[in-house]
Amino acid sequence: MEWWRNAKFGLFIHFGLYSILGKGEWVMFEDQIDTAEYAKLMDKFDCRNFNAREWVEIAQSAGCRYMVVTARHHDGFSLFKTGFGNYDAPHSAAKEDLIAEYIGAAHRAGMRVGIYYSPLDWRYPGFFFPDLYRANAEQMKRQTYAQVRELLTNYGAVDILWYDGGEDNWLGFGGLTWSGGKGWQTRGFDKPYAGKFSWEPLRLNHMVRELQPKIVISQRSGWMGDFETQEVGFRGRPEAARPWEFCTNLGGPAWGWVQSTTDHMMSLDSCIQLLVMVVSQGGNLLMNVGPRPDGSIEPKQVERLKGIGNFLAKYGESIYDTRGGIYDASWGGTTVSENAVYVHLLRVPADGTIHLPPITRKITAASYLRDASEVHWVQTESGILLDGISEEKREADLIIKLALR
């Protein structure tokens, strides 16, 4: 886990048949598109401008240390060559294994490789009614085991397996049942499925560990995994002292491409401040983009990612290889490395003063990271005082470095 905790920033990419319709990755379910009709999108999925090397270069220019790409989403379409049917990219108009291209490009560039995989598959009635269609649910399960084995066998080293939709509370989508006089009811999404079917997540991930002993696994397979994930709604530092990650969209209301993506794009300042909020609380940030139907990433999103990369190129020492310190919504937070504490001021207090709790190490100097100019400080047993803080120009993150002895 050490490399993952040090990496801090990753690029998430959602791409699939849904990208063609431009209504997000849930379009098949939300618009109730017949599975056979939806599958016809394979004939339009030509990915004529897909370039895995460019995807990786975009991630590198953003300062990302790892990537996670959707090998298969809930619609069941695979971007990789699978022996479990022919519902995959090589049998589409693209006629190529996009995951092979992505992983090859990432390996050549020294980028850590992550694969998103959803056991959930809307094509299977056994997902919605796992007891009523038990044999069908078991077939869906065999697909999961076979395809996870393919992904972790055919492409060399994979650093992250990012599951989604494999927890028991997803099974049955809330568990629609008929209860006589009470009519149709659901058990509620907050309650796990308790029927006879099981993904057997311990057996699944035992296989994963045998195939890729050093892989990092998310918690969304029904097993606790190596790290927790927060999605879209940022809740801050988890109560449990576990590694964690926050994933969100750079722009738009969906993870897959929509036409209005760039109309709702986060500002550069917002991106930087979100990164600081997450990292100062001990987490990683996984920022998502959804490529256009042709496989290219929106130019405006590329520029925004480069802006984050420029920030990290200048101030990366305060982000990478650090651990979370404290976070105070009124001004910002701190990150800690072996020989320094970095004070990230997202808002400079009106009186130019910051009070920090005591630390056991001795401060030897305090300076602005932007130009190494000195900041006045006082360290006592009761805490640390920084004062006279100057905000000569508005910055998304004004960073003060406290050197430690």
What pLDDT was estimated at residue 240? 76
What's the CA gap between 78 and 61, in Å, rounded?
27
d(CA 269, CA 276): 11
Other C-beta atoms within 10 Å of 227: how many? 20
Give the tens place of pLDDT for each residue, 249-277: 999 889 999 988 888 899 999 999 999 99
Query: CA 82, CA 336: separation in Å to the nearest integer?
Result: 44
pTM of the full predicted structure? Answer: 0.96
Mean pLDDT value across residues 66-70: 98
Per-residue confidence at 404, pLDDT binned at 50, 70, 90? very high
The answer on pLDDT for 393 being more than 70 is no
Measure the CA angle with vertex 64, ends 63 and 67; round to 5°: 160
How far apart, in whole angstroms, are the C-alpha atoms of residue 142 and residue 204? 11
Over residues 321-330, the mean pLDDT reads 96
Q: What is the pLDDT, as a whole number, of residue 390?
A: 81
Please report the pLDDT score of residue 190 as a whole number.
83
* Chain position carrying tokens 């976070």: 327
Confidence category of residue 125, pLDDT binned at 50, 70, 90? very high
The pLDDT, as a whole number, for residue 241 is 84
pLDDT of residue 233: 84
Residue with the bigger pLDDT between 182 and 147: it is: 147
pLDDT at residue number 307: 98
Percent of the chain exceeding pLDDT 70 equals: 100
Q: What is the DSSP letter of 298?
A: P
Whether the pLDDT of residue 54 is over 80: the answer is yes
The closest of 106, 97, 143 to 124, measured between CA atoms, is 143
